[in-house]
Amino acid sequence: MRVVIAEDNVLLAEGLELILTTRGLEVVAVAGDAPAFLDAVDGHRPDVAVVDVRLPPDFRDEGIRAALEARARHPQLAVLVLSQYVEQEYARELIADERGAVGYLLKDRVSRVSAFVDAVTTVAEGGTVMDEEVVRQLLAPRPHDPLDRLTPRELEVLALMASGQGNGQIGERLYVTENAVHKHIGSIFTKLGLDPTESRHRRVLAVLTYLDRRR
């Protein structure tokens, strides 16, 4: 069974590699950021990827976004996400994939080596492994949030808008055209119910909506 690991913490990455190799799995690559991870998946075509949610450069959700991109490129790829918290938006998208072969475990709740290896194996064989805390948070009722109307890609665009980046910079960051960014932003404005007559202020209002959610 061939494995790619995406983890920027060198000690943890080496620990995961040691655990898996001593149990008979072949770790074909260890990547420290999302681009390196995607290159490793493209080059090695592993059976399963073990991915940390937070990767450089921003240490937010680069890992799980890269995992979704890897699944889009290679539909048969199994993915086990490791995290210190539940990234709800992308976790929902990953889990909603009807193909299975996905897992989401919280790092501080993985207490036994055998349980971790079993999880990797189960996911690689097409099963689903979910930490009970992940399930609890995803199933818990949520208050109405206007950002719930946005797609994961639109949330990415809005997050980059909130960081002060212009349309051209956002396009470069997401590897899409500036015209595509413009369309995403238009959709964001519509879904947030921002009045077109306030065109000069809609970008600011959208960013304020995003930042208010992050408090």
Q: How far is CA 109 from CA 81, 102, 117, 145, in A?
A: 13, 18, 14, 29
Are 125 and 194 found together in one domain? no
Of the two residues 61 and 78, the one the predictor is more confident about is 78
**pTM higher than 0.85:** no
Residues 16 and 104 in one domain: yes
pLDDT of residue 86: 76
pLDDT, tens digit, for every residue of 146-194? 888 898 899 999 999 988 888 999 999 999 999 999 999 999 999 888 8
Give the pLDDT confidence of 112-139 residue by residue, as tens digits: 888 899 999 999 999 988 888 777 776 6
Question: For the CA atoms of 180, 157, 46, 117, what is the dihedral angle to 10 degrees?
Answer: -160
Among the candidates 139, 159, 183, a domain finishes at 139
Q: How many domains are there within the chain?
A: 2
The residue segments making up the domain with residue 201 are 146-214
Same domain, 157 and 119: no
The H-assigned helical ranges of 125-201 are 132-139, 152-162, 167-174, 178-191
